[in-house]
Chain A
Amino acid sequence: MIVRELDLDLDAFEGPFDLLLTLVLKDELDLRELDIAAIVIAFLERLAERDELDLEACGEFLVLIAALLELKARGLFPEEAAELAELEPEAAAEELARRLAEYRRMKEAAGWLRERLAAEGDRFFRLGPAPLAPKVELRLAPQEPERLATALRALAVEPPQVSLAHMALRFPPVTQFLERFRALLRRRTRFDFDAEVRGLSRVEQAVAFLALLDLRRTGEIAIDQAAPFAPIRVARRGAGSVAGRAGDARPGDRGASGASGEENANRDERTVAWTVRSA
């Protein structure tokens, strides 16, 4: 079987393989148009028709088709292959021969190593990590004890206290808002929380809200909200039913106001402490 006479019937070309190669080498046929897989299939079909494998033909075909593939690849990516594309077929063959010879040499070397291993395999020896070398004695330059003491003393000084002032969040006291809301409730029976804290900073609003919760806890006010995020309405406890006896009656009502005031103050401190901790 002669590879050059392989008949091809491709989209881009019809005729013997030999002619195809000639046309490609003369640049009369664009390799990019050529389906190389179809050539391989044609060859394999031809090969299958025969009983015995023609190794000579297979080898030749492999070399030729590899060269075609390489040329096609270079045609598809012209910039990257600039230097190698200039290789003449002879130079390419030379390069290929050089590589094959190098590989053959290394296979020989591997064979030699295998034989060597078989011959030297009965040599047993101790293996271990490298032992530690003796420590080199470090000699210190002579020093005066006084100077050493001075240096140590400089190191032994208590370090200066680092100021954390710039990191502090400033919380207005809860009592400030407690007093403010109580004063407000002495004048009015109900007020709108959102309207009251509008214009304050976020932290101030949060503390005001804590004050609100505190007032609710001590039973001084009732809070309601029509819907989530709706304005919070604050009403003096009992304002609905005892609206008449509002502000002026209040101090008299609470006979034990002194004691409960102290209690409130204690709670306020606790609340502030809790707020600062969780902040």
Chain B
Amino acid sequence: MDRPLRLISTNPLDQLARTVEALLVVASAPLPVTELADAANDDPERVEAALGLLGERYREGRSGIVLEHVAGGWALRAAREASEACARLFERPAQRNLSQAALETLAIVAYLGPCSRPDIARIRGVAADSAVANLVDRGLVVEAGRDDAAGGAIRYRTTPLFERVFGLESLSQLPRLDDVGADADQIRDRLHAVAEKRSA
């Protein structure tokens, strides 16, 4: 019943953009296009177009507010030029003082997740319990079911907050890590050499 009225209005996309803008202001987490479309009661394609208009208006250097595509949705954030002022106003516990162990654990969960603490320990060679607990406290990883085996270990995956903190649209934005293949070959050759000596 709303549709015909919109068609009559002179600049419907601009009106939709204002609605989307309002939705983004009240949201506390990135909103996917589908969710914006449901709330605005409009087509996803038109919402995308409206987001294009807003992206032009809210971009770095033009406004104190920036529209970004992050963690599978759209969200407003502060412009980078205001970051110092923002830092004086509040801190961000999710990313403060992330240790090397925490970052390695986070990388394993992000690339191989969902994975369990034993999986992580197998790769890092040390127990992962405290690192995982620390990341859970920060809200960067979260429990995601259990291993299939009976009494399986709890598995973990990264959260939307992880994507947001690291500025990723999704996990698929993580870079491919096959550029260390040469290293693996080198290691393998040396081990083979040792093995040959051993069996000689």
Q: Tell me if A103 and B124 are in contact (CB < 8 A).
A: yes
A63-B194, A106-B104, A117-B166 known; A100+B28 contact, CB < 8 A? no
Assess whether B149 is interfacial by the CB under 8 Å rule: no
A106-B124, A123-B83, A125-B78 known; A113+B106 contact, CB < 8 A? yes
Chain A residues with CB under 8 Å of B78's CB are 123-125
Binding site secondary structure of chain B: helix
Q: Which of A87-95, A181-189, A222-230 participates in binding chain B?
A: A87-95
Task: Mark A residues whose CB is within 8 Å of B.
Answer: 4, 21-22, 25, 60, 63-64, 67, 89-90, 92-94, 96-114, 116-117, 119-131
Chain B residues with CB under 8 Å of A92's CB are 195
Q: Tell me if B107 and A110 are in contact (CB < 8 A).
A: yes
Q: Tell me if B110 and A109 are in contact (CB < 8 A).
A: yes
Chain A residues with CB under 8 Å of B191's CB are 63, 93-94, 96-97
Task: Mark B residues whose CB is within 8 Å of A.
Answer: 26-29, 68, 75-78, 80, 82-83, 86-87, 92, 94-95, 98, 100, 103-104, 106-108, 110-111, 122-125, 161, 164-167, 174-175, 177, 179-181, 183-184, 187-188, 191-192, 194-195, 197-200
Min CB distance B33 to A, Å, is 17
Min CB distance B193 to A, Å, is 9
Min CB distance B117 to A, Å, is 15
Q: Tell me if A124 and B82 are in contact (CB < 8 A).
A: yes
Q: Tell me if B167 and A97 are in contact (CB < 8 A).
A: no
9 new A-B contacts, CB < 8 A, other than A101-B188, A124-B82, are A25-B199, A93-B194, A97-B184, A104-B183, A104-B184, A112-B175, A113-B107, A113-B110, A120-B167
Binding site secondary structure of chain A: helix
Chain A residues with CB under 8 Å of B192's CB are 90, 93
Given A105, A116, A123, which contacts B177 in the complex, CB threshold below 8 Å? Answer: A105
Bound Cα distance from A119 to B197, whole angstroms: 47
Chain A residues with CB under 8 Å of B108's CB are 106, 109
A64-B198, A89-B198, A131-B26 known; A125+B164 contact, CB < 8 A? yes
Given A103, A113, A126, which contacts B123 in the complex, CB threshold below 8 Å? Answer: A103
Q: Tell me if B165 and A117 are in contact (CB < 8 A).
A: yes
Closest residue on chain A to residue B139 by CB atoms: A127
Chain A residues with CB under 8 Å of B195's CB are 89-90, 92-93
Q: Tell me if B103 and A114 are in contact (CB < 8 A).
A: yes
Q: Tell me if A100 and B184 are in contact (CB < 8 A).
A: yes
Bound Cα distance from A204 to B188, whole angstroms: 91
Chain A residues with CB under 8 Å of B106's CB are 110, 113
B106, B110, B124, B195: residue with the most chain A Cβ atoms closer than 10 Å? B195
Closest residue on chain A to residue B175 by CB atoms: A112
Min CB distance B24 to A, Å, is 10
A89-B195, A122-B83 known; A107+B75 contact, CB < 8 A? no
Q: Tell me if A101 and B28 are in contact (CB < 8 A).
A: no
Chain B residues with CB under 8 Å of A125's CB are 75-78, 164
Chain B residues with CB under 8 Å of A127's CB are 28, 94, 161
Q: Tell me if B165 and A120 are in contact (CB < 8 A).
A: yes
Given A104, A114, A130, which contacts B28 in the complex, CB threshold below 8 Å? Answer: A130
Bound Cα distance from A107 to B125, whole angstroms: 12
Bound Cα distance from A100 to B181, whole angstroms: 11
Q: Tell me if A116 and B77 are in contact (CB < 8 A).
A: no
Contact sample, A vs B, 5 pairs, CB 8 Å cutoff: A109-B110, A110-B103, A116-B167, A117-B95, A123-B80
Q: Tell me if B95 and A131 are in contact (CB < 8 A).
A: no
Bound Cα distance from A94 to B195, whole angstroms: 10
Q: Tell me if A101 and B75 are in contact (CB < 8 A).
A: no
Closest residue on chain B to residue A94 by CB atoms: B188
Chain A residues with CB under 8 Å of B199's CB are 25, 89
Chain A residues with CB under 8 Å of B180's CB are 101, 104-105, 108
Bound Cα distance from A192 to B5, whole angstroms: 108
A108-B177, A117-B166, A123-B83 known; A100+B107 contact, CB < 8 A? no
Closest residue on chain B to residue A120 by CB atoms: B167
A89-B198, A93-B192 known; A113+B103 contact, CB < 8 A? yes
